[in-house]
Amino acid sequence: MTSRHRAWAGIHLNAFRKNLQLIQKLVGEAEVWPVLKANAYGHGARQMAKICQELCAARLGVGDSGEALELREAGIETPLLVLGTAIDSEIPDLLEHDIEVGLHSESRALTLAEMARKSGKPLGVHLKVDTGMTRLGVLPEAALRVARAVVAEPFLELRGLMTHHASPNGFRSTTTREQETQFKNTVAELQDAQVPIPCIHSANSAAIFTGSPPFGNAVRPGIALYGVLPLSLDTDLRLEPVLSLHAQVVFLKDVPASASVGYGGLWKSPRPTRLAVLPIGYNDGLPYRLGAQGRGWALVQGVRCPIVGAVSMDYCTIDVGHVPGVDIGDTATLLGKDGEESLTIQELADAAGTIPYEITCSLGSRVQRIYSDSETQAPKLSLSE
């Protein structure tokens, strides 16, 4: 079947739904706050937010005020939290649309309070404690002081206390356990001092899948919702890949041995073969290094075909010499299943020397997102109860 698109991403909404439900089962009573920053990790924030709203997510995490506004404009009414921080020019929008923001210092609290007072509207903040990520956040020893400063400000509302984990290995790493201990101590200190904290939240995907039950009353999964775990787990739990990536063959070329392919001639055909040109390149999110390192793959007719030569901006080239009958218009799959074969985001990320997050976030705007409700072909295993 020939697609009318050059390059397209299949986004499987049911897979996203199932991943969200699986995480909800896993964390029991805790609220699941889906993280939809970076355009829902490249998948399309509006579409994912609609599902989250249908499934009654209590809050959504976004990256900045622009992402929050986009969701409000799309009719999303779920409470929104800008997870990191917002710069001054973003604050009026946050106030106007009732969007919460992370808070990382006392001086920031004073600025926010001042802006909120001028607008006549309160701003909801989540105080971020830096327990070891060493990025945004107040140090544990300053948390009580800053929390008190927030509580004392009539135009700031302390809605939550949060921390963020640095290790991709969740509770299998001592870093995560140490961060959690620090965070628990900080929570206890604030509670002893009678500081009211409506929400306590720390777990990201890695922490959710390695520690149970989660500490606090909410969790913030990102990558797992999209069907990827930031670690390989030996567990029954199977997330379903949400994303597949395809391009159609636009040209076939028979080449002799020693043909030099692509920029820099990084690949030379070892024998006479047939090459297929795909209209997808690094601008579309296919990493340059895949071809340069000779480690990338595409599936055509269910057969693995190596990406050969450097991936260029708009195109890449694959070797289809071992696949009989490839035609112009045939679908090449760069992520997902084709017949018995499949290519995972993790595999692609490994081949390119990066992490799955960067792969999905880098999907370019030219790549057509095709949303479907159909089942994915991914293996289905239910949550063992």
Ligand X SMILES: *Cc1c(COP(=O)(O)O)cnc(C)c1O
Task: Write out the catalytic residue numbers.
Answer: 37, 263
| Least distance from ligand X to the Cβ atom of residue 206, Å | 6
CA distance 130 to 138: 5
CA distance 86 to 88: 7
Comparison of 26 and 224: residue with beta carbon closer to ligand X: 224
What is the CB-side half-sphere exposure of residue 380 using CA atoms within 13 A?
6
Which letter does DSSP use for residue 322 in this model? T
The window from 71-79, 153-161, 215-223, 287-295 that contacts ligand X (CB under 6 A) reads 215-223
| Least distance from ligand X to the Cβ atom of residue 9, Å | 18
Q: Which of the residues 287 through 326 are near ligand X (CB under 6 A)?
A: none
| Least distance from ligand X to the Cβ atom of residue 11, Å | 17
DSSP string spanning 78-93? S-EEESS---GGGHHH
| Residue 210 interacts with ligand X (CB under 6 A): yes or no | no
Comparison of 38 and 305: residue with beta carbon closer to ligand X: 38
Comparison of 187 and 249: residue with beta carbon closer to ligand X: 187
Q: Residue 85, Cα to own-chain centre: how many angstroms?
A: 18
| Residue 35 interacts with ligand X (CB under 6 A): yes or no | yes
The amino acid that residue 23 corresponds to is: I
CA distance 7 to 92: 38
Instruction: Lay out the site mask for ligand X across 43-62 (x = CB under 6 A, - = otherwise).
Output: --------------------
| Least distance from ligand X to the Cβ atom of residue 110, Å | 23
Two tokens, residue 165: 């984990």
Contacts of 94 (CB under 8 A, 6+ apart): 65, 68, 82, 86, 100, 101, 123
E strands present in 24-114: 31-32, 60-62, 80-82, 100-103
What is the CB-side half-sphere exposure of residue 219 using CA atoms within 13 A?
28
Question: Applying CB under 6 A, which of residues 34, 160, 170, 221 lies at the interface with ligand X?
Answer: 221
Question: Applying CB under 6 A, which of residues 220, 238, 246, 337 lies at the interface with ligand X?
Answer: 220
CB-count burial class (<10 Å; 0-12, 13-18, 19+) for 200:
buried
Instruction: Lay out the site mask for ligand X across 228-247 (x = CB under 6 A, - = otherwise).
Output: --x-----------------
| Least distance from ligand X to the Cβ atom of residue 136, Å | 9
Alpha-carbon distances of 163 from 63, 126, 200, 218, 285, rounded to whole Å: 16, 10, 9, 12, 31
| Least distance from ligand X to the Cβ atom of residue 352, Å | 19
The window from 12-20, 199-207, 209-217, 347-355 that contacts ligand X (CB under 6 A) reads 199-207
The window from 19-27, 112-120, 221-229, 342-350 that contacts ligand X (CB under 6 A) reads 221-229
Comparison of 86 and 224: residue with beta carbon closer to ligand X: 224
Q: Which of the residues 138 through 167 are near ligand X (CB under 6 A)?
A: 164
Two tokens, residue 367: 């790549």
Tell me if 164 sits within 8 A of 132, measured CB to CB.
no
| Least distance from ligand X to the Cβ atom of residue 237, Å | 15
The window from 67-75, 222-230, 331-339, 347-355 that contacts ligand X (CB under 6 A) reads 222-230
| Residue 131 interacts with ligand X (CB under 6 A): yes or no | no
| Residue 83 interacts with ligand X (CB under 6 A): yes or no | yes
The window from 72-80, 92-100, 152-160, 218-226 that contacts ligand X (CB under 6 A) reads 218-226
Q: Which residue is nearest to ligand X (CB)?
A: 222
Alpha-carbon distances of 282 from 94, 103, 310, 331, 362, rounded to whole Å: 34, 36, 10, 19, 9
Which letter does DSSP use for residue 129 in this model? B
Comparison of 216 and 309: residue with beta carbon closer to ligand X: 216
Residues at the interface with ligand X (CB under 6 A): 35, 37, 83, 164, 204-206, 220-224, 230
